[in-house]
């Protein structure tokens, strides 16, 4: 699924400039009028979120739509600011417990929910190398900014961008990482290739999920852990996770993930950031 790219390089540079010169609060307040402009213009997102709120059984309201967009703006900009100044943020998490779960490697399952994009900057565990398998869909000027910020970070995070490697090379690198007891992370709620999806029930209708990370964990017999990072308040996030039971029935594994994802979403419905029609049925088309 390819979605319309949002944001621009100049807006990210502006946010970083405001943050460096006037502090986080100035930037945080500025996001209200910026969000309002997007609120007036983003008709496709509005339609997608109307369907989303109907699916999860919550009444769609204009103030809720605005707040949903504002949360998205905050989290997406935090993605860049955390690379400049991690000390200004708090991630509520039991690092020792996660390190114990992944001491022999494993697969981390991320979702387009909450602060997933800030995790590489804020979740640092000694001697735990994490290989993030992804295909960047952000605009080129934004990608350049992020790459420059990464250069200034001391991190054990390695990005494997599928846009620049072949399927075979990616498979080899993933296998090598797991053999070295490293961690591989992938998105569970969006696949890069329709052939890699599996449909399961999600809020009463079929939706497509990425079956690849489930297959990798099952074949390699390594832990499969789903991470959910919720935005709590300004510059504060909370990481919760579940360990998914490995099974030869991949569909059952995906169902377990989807059922947990439903509970996470209902606890913070305005942090769902798949801003397109996520379901397979005909409603909304």
Q: Which phi-psi region, left, alpha or beta, contains residue 154 (left: φ > 0; alpha: ψ -120 to 50)?
A: beta
Confidence category of residue 4, pLDDT binned at 50, 70, 90? very low
Question: Helices (H), strands (E): how many in the chain?
Answer: 10, 9
The token pair that represents 116 in the structure block: 């997933």
Cα 75 from Cα 118, distance rounded (Å): 8
Q: pLDDT tens digits for 71-102?
A: 999 998 998 888 888 888 999 999 999 999 99
Asked if 116 and 80 count as a contact pair (C-beta separation under 8 A), the reply is no
What proportion of the chain, given as a percentage, has pLDDT over 70?
A: 88
Residues forming beta bridges with residue 198, ordered by sequence position: 209
Ranking 6-20, 34-48, 211-225 by mean pLDDT, the lowest is 6-20
Average pLDDT in the 255-282 region? 93
Using DSSP's 3-state secondary structure scheme, residue 185 falls into: strand
Question: Kind of pairing, strands 183-187 and 90-92?
Answer: unpaired
Question: Given pLDDT bands bounded at 50, 70 and 90, which one contains residue 285?
Answer: very low
Does 9 have pLDDT greater than 90?
no
Q: Look at residue 255 and tell me whether its pLDDT is greater than 90.
A: yes
Q: CA–CA separation, 3 vs 284, rounded Å?
A: 16
70 or 85, which is more confident? Answer: 70
44 vs 141, higher pLDDT: 44
pLDDT in tens, 121-172: 888 877 788 888 887 655 565 666 666 666 656 667 777 777 777 788 888 9
pTM of the model: 0.89
| Contact in structure between 131 and 106 (CB atoms under 8 Å) | no
Which two tokens mark 266? 């209902």
In angstroms, the CA 32 to CA 27 distance is: 9
Other Cβ atoms closer than 10 A to 8: 12
Any idea what DSSP says for residue 265?
Answer: H
* pLDDT tens by residue, 221-250: 999 999 999 999 999 999 999 999 999 999
pLDDT of residue 130: 87
Using DSSP's 3-state secondary structure scheme, residue 70 falls into helix
Q: Tell which phi-psi region holds residue 158, choosing left (phi > 0), alpha (psi between -120 and 50) or beta.
A: beta
Quick check: 274 pLDDT over 90? yes
């Amino acid at each position: 699924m390819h979605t319309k790219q949002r944001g621009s390089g100049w807006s990210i540079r502006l946010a970083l400039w405001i943050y460096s010169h006037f502090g986080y609060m100035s930037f945080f307040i500025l996001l209200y009028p910026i969000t309002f402009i997007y609120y007036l213009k983003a008709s496709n997102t509005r339609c997608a979120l109307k369907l989303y709120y109907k699916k999860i059984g919550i009444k769609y309201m204009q103030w809720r739509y605005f707040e949903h967009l504002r949360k998205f703006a905050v989290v997406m900009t935090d993605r860049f600011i955390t690379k400049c100044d991690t000390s200004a943020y708090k991630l509520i998490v039991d690092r020792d417990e996660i390190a114990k779960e992944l001491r022999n490697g494993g697969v981390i399952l991320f979702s387009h929910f909450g602060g997933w994009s800030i995790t590489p900057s804020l979740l640092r565990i000694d001697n735990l190398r994490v290989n993030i398998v992804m295909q960047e869909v952000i605009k080129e000027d934004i990608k350049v900014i992020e790459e420059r910020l990464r250069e200034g970070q001391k991190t054990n995070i390695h990005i494997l961008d599928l846009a620049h490697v072949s399927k075979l090379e990616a498979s080899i690198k993933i296998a090598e990482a797991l053999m070295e007891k490293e961690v591989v992370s992938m998105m569970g709620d969006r696949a890069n290739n329709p052939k890699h999806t599996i449909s399961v029930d999600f809020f009463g209708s079929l939706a497509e999920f990425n079956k690849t990370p489930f297959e990798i964990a099952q074949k390699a017999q390594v832990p499969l852990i789903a991470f959910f990072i919720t935005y709590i308040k300004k510059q504060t996030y909370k990481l919760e996770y579940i360990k998914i039971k490995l099974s030869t029935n991949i569909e059952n594994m995906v169902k377990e993930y989807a059922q947990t994802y439903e509970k996470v979403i209902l606890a913070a419905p305005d942090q769902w950031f798949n801003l397109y029609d996520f379901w397979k049925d005909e409603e909304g088309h």
